[in-house]
Amino acid sequence: MDEKEKISLKLRSMKKYVDFLSSKRNVSREELEGNYELRSAIERNFQLAIESTLDIGEIIISVEGFEKPEDYKSVILILGKHDILPKDFAEVFALAAGFRNVLVHMYEEVDIDILHDFLHNKLDDFDTFAKFMIKYIGAK
């Protein structure tokens, strides 16, 4: 499997996770707080969607020979630095990597308000990311 195929596979997986999250966009803060199963499913799909973007970024960084990222946030910032993503978008989207770290390492402390905000206001960022990755694949 070449890099284009790997990126395409990751994009398809990311779309599946984001589609699930989109179907839950109308969930209220109270529902998130009161329904453990729902909250867990949303948290897990966010984690997987974010990890898909990071995997894609790491593939591109490796293929292009860009500098090695220091952490997950820098994966996205490096894509911005090298014009794979617009710099302003990369700076905003890099916050998702920080959210991923909270989901993975501090899951007992996930702030419901932040989760609710990401669910209602950040899902379109994944579509934007995907569009730039499709553009990148098409240019290769």
Q: Which domains does the chain have, with CATH numbers?
A: 3-139 (1.20.120.580)
Residue-wise pLDDT for 22-34, tens only, equals 999 999 999 999 9
Helix (H, G, I), strand (E, B) or coil at 140: coil
Instruction: Summarize the confidence of residues 47-75 as an average pLDDT.
Output: 97
> What does the alpha-carbon distance between residue 120 and residue 124 come to, in Å, rounded to a whole number?
9
Instruction: Give residue 85's pLDDT.
Output: 98
Q: What is the mean pLDDT of the chain?
A: 93
Spatial neighbors of 100 by CB under 8 A, at least 6 apart, are 46, 47, 50, 51, 54, 72
Instruction: Give residue 107's pLDDT.
Output: 59
The identity of residue 131, as a single letter, is: K
